[in-house]
Amino acid sequence: MAATLTDIKKVLNSQKPVPDPFGLLHSITTLTATHGHTPELRELVVRALDKTEQFQKEKPLLMALAREFGLYPYMEQEGLTLTDALAVEMHRPDNLDGVVFSSIQAAVYLDLMEGRNVILSAPTSFGKSLIVDALIASGKYDNVVLIVPTIALIDETRRRLSDHQTGHKIYTHPGQAYAERNLFVLTQERYLALENPPRPDLFFVDEFYKLDERSGGKVSGRAALLNQALYQLMKTGAQFYLAGPNIHELSAMVPTNVSRTLRVTDFSTVAANVHRLPSNSAEQRKAMVKMLASTLTGGTMIYCGSPRRVREVVGWLTEDENGTYGAGMPEAADWLEREYSEDWALPKALRKGIGSHHGRLPRWLAHKVVSGFNERRLGVLVCNNTLIEGVNTTAKNVIVLDRTLARRTYNFFTFMNIRGRGGRMFKHFVGDIFLFHDAPEPEINAVDIPGLSQSEDAPTSLLLSIEAEDWTERTNERLNPVLSQRVLSLETMRANQGVAPEAQIQLAEHLQQLPVSRTRNLIWTTAYPNHSQLAALMDLIWDYIPPDGATRHGAVSASQLTLYTFWVAGAEGNLREVMDRFTQPNPQYDGKETHDDKVDKAFDFMRFWIDHNLPMLVRAVDRIAEEVFTRRGITPGKYGGFASRMEDGFQPHLLLTLEEYGIPVQISKKLTRWISGYRSLDELLERIADLPSEALSGLDSFERETVFATMQSLRPSSGPQQLGIWMQ
């Protein structure tokens, strides 16, 4: 059967049985002999492996092709020839049972095991994190730092690594005690908050392209902090492994000793069919999305441009009373209506087997929705850019509805990341990608590392965090105005990580000139400021050191920021009260905002301001005001108590942290009798892991299931029989 690559792909894409299995494999072998190991031919082998049951008589030849293309993980263990069996065994990492590497994975793993540094650019489905697991399982490294981009990935990584009994303590939050051997799984912010951590033997940075992430054309605040973390890790002299998808080169300004470690591969273990859909009108797109969601099998993700668009698409799918997309999550839906809002649309969607995911949802709920999708209780997951990278899903189908993601037209880099979400190794060999717009043209993706290159794009806050001995001549010039002023010390500016020093100086100058009579509302030390005191503090933050995108997350003015913060603080952790506040009738906005818009605004405000930005900014004002007012002879206020309350979400200390482990704070409050007396996060987690069966008496079935899942993740060696009594 002489055939072209196109002919073979057409046969393998067909729903009909392969007419001549031997001839097809023979044709692939012939093309390989002629053209070598091209990505296109490797993809044909992957597609053939997807139809293994049709090649029973020809299986030795199919397995030989898999070996030829380095696809060792897909080689069936029974019936292999001696040569193939030996090849598979040669690609097993030490101390990681059941794992077989592809040829490229094995090469990267061996490089790292021999002590070499690696920056790896590989497709989404490559298995970059599996190499990390193998390195840890080797026992070679006592202290390992893993920097991941989101808190959701902290939890996913923690759960994955807890299955490996390596003798390491998994450390996920500042304040935990260090052990002799530690796995630090942290975001860049949490790594920078560590106090005197042990020197790492190895560090890993996931999604390393985020070192060059932009916001409004400049390096974003989170990217600056990631660069700062990378710089500090580099200074330890530890071995490094950085990984991410679809990067072709590093900026010419990156130091040679770093840039030369870059390895770029297009090796993929899954294939994708890309389908261009008609998009003549909004109604046509709506009808097409509904048709695909109801007919496709294997799990479908729908990418939308914004959280509002996510809600709109969920509305499309739920408007048909009889339409269902999976078994659903009815108990979770009942609980959400009771604890947040009975008029919220998400619970209705969950009952129909539809999930939604965006960055504004509570972390425990986002994890629960993804788990429901991976377990096939939810057949459809509607999301925005929060699921482009990182968190693993098992989607076979991806529908890209909008041309924009996160307010920007998506480029080729983003498209390739989305495309990589369709199909998953050992789940779906071939994914299907549906587009309503033409795919972006291929482009060369180059990444700068501003913390190492000290390029013009590096913000001054990042440059200031670099040790003076490492400054370039140009960095000295750029920092001269900051260093030559006398209103604010270098020590204070460096302590306020991520806040532009120029903005800090302007705030300090304002406080330096502020009449004493106007300092009264800034001279408070309570953890419970009144409205006037809070307003004075919020005005300074809003006017001088606002975070990136301040006006896009619920509050559009300093007075609104004050009001919403006052609401949340006054609720003392009662989230139902917070939700009722945000969803109450408002003549100014009613008619412009739906109930779901208001629910989303509440979650967005809580995540962006209360959970992420305000505690850090309050502490920054505290440091600046203390220095300036002390110099003026004014007794400064102390905002640390209020910042600490805010970091806890105005909940009892550390209970909010349990949401990262999967337990909503509403449930953890019911467990207070059983977990009280803890003095640290370590002790709290121990109490959760060792909860007695009586602790369930006040919980419903959803709450029991939720706590049980967390308990299992904290006690990985505990099997169902050991914990069975706990669930009864």
Q: pLDDT tens for residues 401-421?
A: 998 876 778 888 888 888 877
- Supply the pLDDT for residue 425: 55
What integer is the mean pLDDT of 491-512? 97
DSSP β-bridge partners for residue 146: 185, 204
Domain annotation covers residue 473: no
The proportion of the chain whose per-residue pLDDT surpasses 90, expressed as a percent, equals: 78
Q: pLDDT tens for residues 43-92?
A: 999 999 999 999 999 999 999 999 999 999 999 777 788 888 898 999 99
Q: pLDDT tens for residues 296-307?
A: 988 999 999 999
* Whether residue 299 is found in the same domain as residue 221: no
Report whether 41 contacts 32 (CB < 8 A). yes
Q: Which of 416, 435, 454 is the last residue of a domain?
A: 435
716 pLDDT band, cuts 50/70/90, is low
Q: How many domains does the chain fold into?
A: 5
* Whether residue 501 is found in the same domain as residue 592: yes
CATH of the domain at 389: 3.40.50.300
* Whether residue 370 is found in the same domain as residue 287: yes
* Whether residue 280 is found in the same domain as residue 409: yes
Residue 487: pLDDT over 90: yes
Domain annotation covers residue 126: yes
Q: Which of 630, 647, 664 is the last residue of a domain?
A: 647
HEC string of 327-395 equals CCCHHHHHHHHHHCCCCCHHHHHHHCCEEEECCCCCHHHHHHHHHHHHCCCCCEEEECHHHCCCCCCCC
**What is the distance between the alpha carbons of residues 581 and 602, in angstroms, rounded to a whole number?**
9
* Whether residue 169 is found in the same domain as residue 217: yes
Domain annotation covers residue 70: yes
Averaged confidence pLDDT in the chain: 92
- Supply the pLDDT for residue 385: 83
Domain annotation covers residue 353: yes
The DSSP 8-state label assigned to residue 443 in this structure reads -
Report whether 669 contacts 572 (CB < 8 A). no
* Whether residue 541 is found in the same domain as residue 618: yes
Answering whether pTM is above 0.85, one says yes
Domain annotation covers residue 414: yes
Domain annotation covers residue 249: yes
* Whether residue 297 is found in the same domain as residue 319: yes
- The domain of 144 spans 103-264
* Whether residue 555 is found in the same domain as residue 625: yes
Q: Which of 647, 666, 685 is the last residue of a domain?
A: 647
536 pLDDT band, cuts 50/70/90, is very high
Q: What is the CA radius of gyration of the chain?
A: 27
* Whether residue 35 is found in the same domain as residue 165: no
- Supply the pLDDT for residue 80: 82
Which SS3 state, helix, strand or coil, does residue 548 take?
Answer: coil
* Whether residue 281 is found in the same domain as residue 384: yes
* Whether residue 121 is found in the same domain as residue 181: yes
Domain annotation covers residue 218: yes
Domain annotation covers residue 284: yes
Q: pLDDT tens for residues 121-172?
A: 998 878 899 999 999 999 999 999 999 999 889 988 998 898 777 889 999 9
Report whether 189 contacts 201 (CB < 8 A). no
* Whether residue 277 is found in the same domain as residue 418: yes
